[in-house]
Structure 1
């Protein structure tokens, strides 16, 4: 990356800070978004504080990385995660959250995803990223397709929701 910081378009990415505790508590415990993160129970402040305290550890050790997405004013609007990091196979999963509906459709997610793709390729040396997306999430499907991810699989009745079962799509991007 030819940039001095993790910035692209209208966003910047930064590591977790102790001051993010209440923000993470709000985001992680909002049951309306649990289905996209495969969360089944709320997180305590104690557990989230430990998570933040451990977030300084290297991605090669933890196999994951969470960064906060800030808008052009420096306000946190969401988070982007690399998970299931596999340095030998040079791949990782990627997930993204823009929390407030008023912050969606402003290009923050697209910019963050573009930046994470650059970071994954140029800094981590990854060959590919993948995303698992519920078939009931057309906004995420559109985001990942516009970002160059291609549909490579469909898992039938994969996700159990209160309203029934839905398929899950596997999207991949060769970097």
Structure 2
């Protein structure tokens, strides 16, 4: 049986009580660079998002799950995006709150969601887009056998300069 529960954390569907944490994450300008966000989100808009987050990945082409520590604290989110069932692939992104970093949650959450993609969604590949200077994310994805397959030159414009974005893939064995 495939479980979305590990030693350090578990993954669950979004709940209405996640609103304040979601508001904090989505309005953190430090992560706007990777989420391609340029304006803040209101609580109203995020509340509507949460109300519709139950929709099927085959319908909306994305899925966001909460990363919850073993003591039931919301620690972050893991997202599947650009779900493409025809070509059997999906993108993945992850964010863990600073106070939970370095505890193995991101590594375990990434392993669980990748297994979910391969075993339950029957996908052929999972990919990630990581800015070249994001050393923690590069280390995380490489630790889960994602391979670097390309560089998108000057892909992200942030803080007055262009950054390269790295394209990582994990292909189902």
Fold in common (TM above 0.5) = yes
Which residue of structure 2 aligns with residue 22 of structure 1?
A: 20
Which residue of structure 1 aligns with residue 88 of structure 2?
A: 90
Deviation at 1:163, TM superposition (A): 4.5
Deviation at 1:8, TM superposition (A): 1.8
Q: Which runs of 5+ in 2 are unaligned?
A: none
SS at match of 2:77: strand
- CA root-mean-square deviation: 1.0
Q: Could you tell me the TM-score, scaled by structure 2's length?
A: 0.96
Which residue of structure 1 aligns with residue 31 of structure 2?
A: 33
Q: Could you tell me the TM-score, scaled by structure 1's length?
A: 0.95
What CA distance in whole angstroms lies between the structure 2 residues aligned with 1:108 and 1:38? 24
Which residue of structure 2 aligns with residue 75 of structure 1?
A: 73
Q: Which runs of 5+ in 1 are unaligned?
A: none
Deviation at 1:14, TM superposition (A): 0.5
What CA distance in whole angstroms lies between the structure 2 residues aligned with 1:122 and 1:146? 20
Which residue of structure 1 aligns with residue 165 of structure 2?
A: 168
Number of equivalent positions: 172
Give the alignment partner of residue 110 of structure 1, picking from 107, 112, 127: 107
What CA distance in whole angstroms lies between the structure 2 residues aligned with 1:79 and 1:141? 18
Displacement over 2 Å in runs of 4+? none
What CA distance in whole angstroms lies between the structure 2 residues aligned with 1:58 and 1:25? 23
